[in-house]
Amino acid sequence: MAVYQFRASGVPRHKIGFTDHDAIKRQKKLQTGCPFPLELVRVWDGGRDLEALAHDWFSAHRIGGEWFEFAEDMQPVIDAVMSLLQNKIETDEKFGGDFREHCRQLYSDLRIASLQSSGCWGAGAPTQHSLPFGAH
């Protein structure tokens, strides 16, 4: 599985898409419907989740469907964003969901434990495990 970026020669149009197969084979299929020669810019390891995140992230540059308009000097930004999106997916998979939510829960649990150990968490207060975000 791969997410690819093609550029239409001579215009600032880029296609970000997904393929189960080789990006070059996908390029040949896409070329039949494109009036400009397509150039392969990048291929990233990833699936439809990476493609969807990329489409959301770059939505301000979308000109239609999976096509985006990017300035020539924007490629380092595109590469950096795609790397961050890949890391987000890997982290979410590792922690079984949204990593930011995991961090919020961990912070809250640690804060409660700290208050309990310092004696600031009074008698009769909810325990760490009675709160909806407590560690289980």
pLDDT of residue 127: 54
Residue-wise pLDDT for 15-39, tens only, equals 999 999 889 899 888 988 888 999 9
Q: What is the 3-state secondary structure (H, E, C) of the chain?
A: CEEEEEEECCCCEEEEEEECCCHHHHHHHHHCCCCCCEEEEEEEECCHHHHHHHHHHCHHHEEECCEEECCHHHHHHHHHHHHHHHHHHHHHHHHCCCHHHHHHHHHHHHHHHHHHHHCCCCCCCCCHHHCCCCCC
Q: What is the pLDDT of residues 87-118, one digit of tens each?
A: 988 888 887 777 677 677 777 777 776 666 66
Whole-prediction pTM: 0.69
- Per-residue pLDDT for 130 more than 90? no
What local confidence, expressed as pLDDT, does residue 31 receive? 86
Q: What is the mean pLDDT of the chain?
A: 83
